[in-house]
Chains A and B, each alone.
Chain A
């Protein structure tokens, strides 16, 4: 049979120009969200559905002496009241470090004999109406006997401190070491010390934790807002059923930021749906979400930085304490990232870093955009600024003398194998600030600062990460992508379509992507650690190339040209002769040809990241696959009488290797800066003896757009990332440098360096007072 051929406009052969990648098409997710047709976790309603609620501890640290559920059970409309004894296997064990040395501590699904933080789940309700479920919560009578709690991670390290868990209060103690820091420090011309503190931060996603669960044919299905469908295995363990009996479907999320990386509603929905054998829905309201969800770790960071008189870094001694809260969650990994990145993008031949996750009776802390590597930016960038000032260098000069480049060795002993375009990002960000603004009133001062950062993308290497995808070219030429990725709202699914379209030439409108279902999609690993473009993007790229290779053999034969000269574009494969007359076959036709010849048009492909080992004893080894670098610059005005800080200008620049979708890259940077400025200036999930005091947006302050300056974004494309088509991840990186850039600008304005977040007006005034009282050293450090 003769292939249908068409004369088409010729394109130069062998061009590296992309036709789909690098553009910003309005994909299916944009359209559904704008039209309001996307079905989020809370939007599913099932016939006969019950409403689930969690009964939570009101005490941060107490023994449970009795739980009386009788009144709740008697309330008409209540269908189930479950407590710890109803949970088949009441233990969740996170081995977040992958077995490299943290304590093994189990977290109960429902508290048994004691509670360890305010908000800890104690019982579950299912009722026919949400109001009835809420009323039943109040009828569950839990009797507590107070136990001494511990709320400060530094106090928790003291020998007499009450133990949060019998195994001890130190969940993990990482060490990273290279060279001889003590000797180098002793030989240094200058030593700069600094102590920096950060706060508990709430993810504050638009969409709170939500979903439905049901069981049919002996399989429990949860359709929930989650970053990680792989929790299905954990749910199976809790229900004491085999893993094939649990299916998790992830709905498109209205944000996650790491807060939906641990389980949220899943175990409670599972227990209630399994127990009642009826569909159950659970939606946390904002107050419950802020009260009970995990938080970003507050860090206490102590730095000693030694340098030569010319500014060359000789040594770093760094100590990090992270408040893990009451249970392990992902703290072990977060504190590892803090340790690995503690010195930032600077060469330091001698270093010892200790990084500990410490239990307290505060709300558990876990994953949050930046994942330990963002807290330390405030530490290392403040140190660099202070060192510059001590030596009479500019902040730019000190960085030029120490910044890492490709090929340099970092504290873990690895060498950097991709481009480091920090200087380019810095030049762009600083240029964007333009002429300096003048102060708007007496008592007001303008200041400027910048900060650079490096953020890993991809999981720690010793996890031997992999992601699978299944691509099928259908007989009408349309393409199916099936992947277990979950979509946070950043376009994880849509980016896969762009990559597949680029390789196979299928138009975007003819590609459907099915995601986030443990039953129907090959596993892709969760969406966290800025890993999905890197992992699933690479899986799609290599899987699509493989598929194209098998299709190409057929097409090449039909067209009588070598397979590697074919051009795949606009739903066709065609020859690329430069004569101006070329021929092509529609993908539909090609798929049918393949079918007739018994050539598969489907490809299930797994992509594996580089593997390696980390030696926790030596504090050396493989850590992360690669990093995304960037610089932010800020101009602020400080009212020195009220302490109010206004951000006048803000510029952010990151090297993303290669943009897959520029609008989405912009979106990540704009959003990251907004979240980072909230972190720098406002946000504080304050706890008083374990009790949260801000569980509404009326008192947990996230910035509004009106608080924001225009954020100027410059994207650098070095072409050297480890992601598909040399892209780098951009999900987490933009949140990193904000607090340090703002702190540096405030220092420039008022002469004193903030060392504690958030930098509230009140704290700014305290700094100014300290300065007035002569308690500030020349380089702006506190004495």
Chain B
């Protein structure tokens, strides 16, 4: 029978690492199953062993050393519900709300999204925008991987065959920092055609944009960080419309997306321009409100 596999449950990360080692390349980790199960169904992957890590359960999001710490098994919907996430990394709540539909958000996990590494996924785009770190475990021990290095290419990560992703650590929002996550979809619940995650830091008088970080998803084999040079038209400025439009145009000119049935390369470029411009505007506006709100 094609597609048959053995199914095993892991109760702890140690056990998961051990089972994963035993199965080697024939084993697959099952987290929320929202990407893996459709692939099994279409026989795109045919593992011999399926290691279900759900029994491990997710620890509630917490803050340690100025970082928000998420268990790999944190569900998308937990990002919407956690007050800690809303306070320290509010962009995660904004982006996670746009993942798939309520069923997908209830099952899908942040770790699964990172490991699946879909170039249009919201989680990878945001984790990269926040400059997060990924914690991997293997029989050889623990490894800390920067998001930029972790996301290698289309459905490809830096994880070695025997490594599991256990945790994600994200720098918490600084004072005066605004955020925005924007995307468009062809149909509700689908992957984004193009998505943009942006953070903006404002000077303490809320006047000047001192730092920007923008990541665009859906336009390459992995989410793209816009270079400092591209952002230069707006960094040091006051967030004027023409400054932001200039960044949008520059971003559009650098990306070289592919065409598919959902959108042509040209259209993706247009979306890059508009969404970048809009995300910057929203992030700066929020940053400004944040710094003013704090009574500076």
Measured CB to CB, the residues of A under 8 A from B are: 129, 131, 134-135, 641-644, 682, 684, 686, 693-694, 698-699, 701-704, 706-707, 760-762, 765
B274 with A701: CB separation less than 8 A:
no
Residue of B nearest to A694 (CB): B261
Can you identify 7 A-B contacts, CB atoms within 8 angstroms? A131-B1, A135-B2, A643-B267, A644-B184, A682-B187, A693-B261, A762-B267
The A-contacting residues of B in range 262-296, CB under 8 angstroms, are: 262-264, 267, 270-271, 274-275, 278
A762 with B188: CB separation less than 8 A:
no
Select B267's contact among A699, A703, A761, beta carbons within 8 Å: A761
Residue of B nearest to A705 (CB): B188
Contact digits for B208-241, partner A, Cβ 8 Å, 1 yes 0 no: 0000000000000000000000000000000000
The A-contacting residues of B in range 179-193, CB under 8 angstroms, are: 184, 186-190
* Bound Cα distance from A135 to B43, whole angstroms: 13
Whether B254 is near chain A, meaning CB under 8 Å from some CB there, is no
With A642-B274, A761-B186 given, is the CB distance from A131 to B2 under 8 Å? Answer: yes
Which residues of chain B are within 8 angstroms of A762 by Cβ–Cβ distance? 263-264, 267
A706 with B189: CB separation less than 8 A:
yes
B101 with A701: CB separation less than 8 A:
no
User: How far apart are A271's CB and chain B's nearest CB, in angstroms?
Assistant: 26
Which residues of chain A are within 8 angstroms of B101 by Cβ–Cβ distance? 704, 706
Residue of B nearest to A441 (CB): B278
User: How far apart are B218's CB and chain A's nearest CB, in angstroms?
Assistant: 13
A765 with B187: CB separation less than 8 A:
no
A686 with B261: CB separation less than 8 A:
yes
Which residues of chain B are within 8 angstroms of A684 by Cβ–Cβ distance? 261
Pick from A644, A704, A762 the residue with the most CB of B within 10 Å: A762
B270 with A699: CB separation less than 8 A:
no
B1 with A701: CB separation less than 8 A:
no
Residue of B nearest to A641 (CB): B274
User: How far apart are A779's CB and chain B's nearest CB, in angstroms?
Assistant: 27
Residue of A nearest to B189 (CB): A704
7 additional A-B pairs beyond A129-B1, A642-B275, A643-B267, beta carbons within 8 Å, are A131-B3, A642-B270, A642-B271, A682-B186, A701-B186, A702-B187, A765-B267
Q: Is the interface of B mostly helix, strand, loop or mixed?
A: loop
User: How far apart are A302's CB and chain B's nearest CB, in angstroms?
Assistant: 26
Contact digits for B1-37, partner A, Cβ 8 Å, 1 yes 0 no: 1110000000000000000000000000000000000
* Bound Cα distance from A706 to B186, whole angstroms: 12
Which residues of chain B are within 8 angstroms of A694 by Cβ–Cβ distance? 261
Which residues of chain B are within 8 angstroms of A131 by Cβ–Cβ distance? 1-3
Residue of A nearest to B266 (CB): A762
Residue of B nearest to A704 (CB): B188
Which residues of chain B are within 8 angstroms of A704 by Cβ–Cβ distance? 101, 187-189
With A131-B2, A642-B274, A694-B261 given, is the CB distance from A701 to B187 under 8 Å? Answer: yes
Pick from B3, B187, B260, B267 the residue with the most CB of A within 10 Å: B187
Which residues of chain B are within 8 angstroms of A702 by Cβ–Cβ distance? 187
* Bound Cα distance from A682 to B188, whole angstroms: 11
Which residues of chain A are within 8 angstroms of B278 by Cβ–Cβ distance? 641
Residue of B nearest to A706 (CB): B188
* Bound Cα distance from A761 to B262, whole angstroms: 10
User: How far apart are B158's CB and chain A's nearest CB, in angstroms?
Assistant: 27
Which residues of chain A are within 8 angstroms of B2 by Cβ–Cβ distance? 131, 134-135
Pick from B101, B275, B278 the residue with the most CB of A within 10 Å: B278
Which residues of chain B are within 8 angstroms of A707 by Cβ–Cβ distance? 187-188
User: How far apart are B55's CB and chain A's nearest CB, in angstroms?
Assistant: 30
Which residues of chain B are within 8 angstroms of A643 by Cβ–Cβ distance? 267
B186 with A765: CB separation less than 8 A:
no
Pick from B189, B261, B264, B278 the residue with the most CB of A within 10 Å: B261
Residue of B nearest to A683 (CB): B187
Which residues of chain A are within 8 angstroms of B274 by Cβ–Cβ distance? 641-642
Contact digits for B161-184, partner A, Cβ 8 Å, 1 yes 0 no: 000000000000000000000001
Which residues of chain B are within 8 angstroms of A761 by Cβ–Cβ distance? 184, 186, 267
* Bound Cα distance from A644 to B186, whole angstroms: 8
Which residues of chain A are within 8 angstroms of B262 by Cβ–Cβ distance? 699, 701
Which residues of chain A are within 8 angstroms of B186 by Cβ–Cβ distance? 682, 701, 760-761
* Bound Cα distance from A131 to B3, whole angstroms: 10
User: How far apart are A76's CB and chain B's nearest CB, in angstroms?
Assistant: 13
* Bound Cα distance from A706 to B105, whole angstroms: 15
Residue of A nearest to B187 (CB): A701
User: How far apart are A51's CB and chain B's nearest CB, in angstroms?
Assistant: 13
* Bound Cα distance from A134 to B260, whole angstroms: 29
* Bound Cα distance from A698 to B3, whole angstroms: 21
* Bound Cα distance from A45 to B288, whole angstroms: 66
Which residues of chain B are within 8 angstroms of A641 by Cβ–Cβ distance? 274, 278
* Bound Cα distance from A701 to B260, whole angstroms: 13
B187 with A699: CB separation less than 8 A:
no
Residue of A nearest to B277 (CB): A641
* Bound Cα distance from A699 to B1, whole angstroms: 28
Select A765's contact among B1, B189, B270, beta carbons within 8 Å: B270
* Bound Cα distance from A386 to B188, whole angstroms: 33
